């Protein structure tokens, strides 16, 4: 199992400097953003897509720093009711899939997107309760929209031999494991999870149980290492559906934290072990979104925790079981 980093938090560095910095700290892999909410500072599609020379430069730079790319990232809303916005998101996602195939990268990370609640609505609508009944009608409409879009997109990904790893995220149609498996059933096995525990913690979902559920379906394509701390004093007062700005830390019921600052090292060792049980032996890609520390300190502390948690070797034969 390898340690990776989504490089958006150090997008102020050039690609060469970012690679040098991460390699010097023992990182094995990078996840590179190429459009959408995550930006494209390190991998703009208009430079790299269909450009053999630019792609060769990228490969050489990766080799120089002994790194590989675990995934390309383009998080967006391809189901947005605004046709211009959904078309832009779709274009970026398809471009990322094509670019991944050209670079021999097997995974693109993204969101499921979120439609409106009906054909005449203008904004996405996240349904969180089955009553009043009109909300169930809205959700049914949303899944119809998702099945049509993702069915075709999954075929496109399969044609390019690329997996699409969907991050389960609030304000998206797929925000928990049952929804992820539902979308997978409606499409094909190219659709799976970018398993990010940070969005599941505050929903009360058991991380290791979710890993086992998705792992049994071979539905984990990529993993984010990102922590969350629930601040019970606030959560007891207002619950966890918290719209307080992320930067108003004292008033929030939960915050994204650097790895090890929401849950300790023992928890992350359990995550690593459970991932191995279900057969995942890929990258744990650190995503830094901790407003209480700098990107570099947050990344370095997260790398330190994961370095002690991951297994670097394959298991030996269980001689004691013979």
What is the secondary structure of 151-198 as a DSSP string?
Answer: HHHHHHHHHTT-EEEEPP-TTSS--SHHHHHHHHHHS-TTEEEEE-TH
Global pTM reads 0.96
- pLDDT score of 290: 98
Contact 34, 72 (CB under 8 A): yes
Determine the angle formed by the axes of helices 265-277 and 207-216, rounding to 10 degrees. 10
Query: Does residue 321 have a pLDDT over 90?
Result: no
Averaged pLDDT for residues 91-111: 98
Per-residue pLDDT tens for 286-320? 999 999 999 999 999 999 999 999 998 889 998 88
pLDDT at 5: 98
Model confidence band, residue 322 (pLDDT cutoffs 50, 70, 90): confident
Angle at 51 between CA 12 and CA 71, to 5 degrees: 55
Q: Above 90 in pLDDT, residue 11? A: yes
- Digit-coded pLDDT (tens) for 164-181: 999 999 999 999 999 999
User: What pLDDT shows up at residue 45?
Assistant: 98
pLDDT in tens, 177-196: 999 999 999 999 999 999 99
Q: Looking at residues 116-129, what average pLDDT do you find?
A: 96
DSSP 124: B
Q: Give the Cα separation of 234 and 276 in Å (integer).
A: 35
**Lookup: tokens for 47:** 């430079």
Q: What average pLDDT does this structure show over 257-283? A: 97
Cα separation, 36 vs 284, whole angstroms: 22
Task: State which residues form the domain around 292.
Answer: 2-321
Number of domains present in the structure of the chain: 1
In this structure, what CATH number is given to the domain that contains residue 261? Answer: 3.20.20.150
pLDDT tier, 239 (very low <50, low <70, confident <90, very high otherwise): very high
CB 258 within 8 A of CB 293: yes
């Amino acid at each position: 199992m390898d340690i990776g980093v989504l490089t958006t938090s150090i997008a102020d560095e050039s690609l060469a400097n970012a690679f040098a910095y991460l390699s010097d700290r023992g990182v094995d892999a990078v996840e590179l953003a190429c459009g959408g909410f995550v930006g494209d500072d390190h991998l703009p599609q208009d430079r790299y897509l269909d450009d053999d020379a630019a792609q060769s430069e990228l490969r050489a730079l990766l080799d120089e720093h002994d790194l590989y790319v675990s995934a390309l990232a383009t998080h967006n809303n391809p189901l947005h009711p605004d046709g211009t916005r959904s078309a832009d998101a779709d274009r970026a996602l398809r471009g990322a899939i094509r670019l991944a195939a050209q670079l021999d990268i097997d995974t693109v990370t993204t969101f499921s997107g979120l439609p409106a609640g009906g054909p005449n609505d203008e904004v996405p609508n996240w349904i969180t309760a089955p009553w009043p009944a009109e909300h169930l009608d809205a959700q049914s409409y949303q899944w119809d929209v998702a099945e049509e879009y993702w069915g075709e997109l999954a075929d496109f990904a399969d044609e390019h031999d690329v997996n699409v790893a969907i991050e389960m995220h609030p304000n998206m149609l797929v925000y928990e494991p049952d929804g992820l498996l539902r979308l997978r059933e409606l499409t094909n096995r190219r659709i799976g999870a970018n398993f990010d525990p940070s969005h599941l913690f505050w929903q009360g979902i058991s991380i290791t149980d979710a890993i086992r559920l998705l792992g049994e379906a071979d539905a984990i394509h990529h993993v984010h290492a990102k922590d969350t701390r629930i601040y019970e004093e606030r959560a007891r007062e207002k619950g966890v559906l918290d719209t307080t700005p992320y930067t108003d830390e004292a008033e929030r019921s939960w915050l994204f934290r650097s790895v090890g600052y929401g849950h300790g090292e023992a928890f992350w060792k359990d995550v690593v072990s459970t991932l191995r049980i279900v057969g995942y032996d890929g990258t744990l890609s650190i995503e830094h979104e901790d407003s209480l520390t700098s990107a570099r300190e947050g990344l370095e502390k997260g790398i330190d925790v994961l370095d002690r948690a991951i297994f670097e070797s394959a298991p030996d034969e269980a001689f004691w079981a013979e």
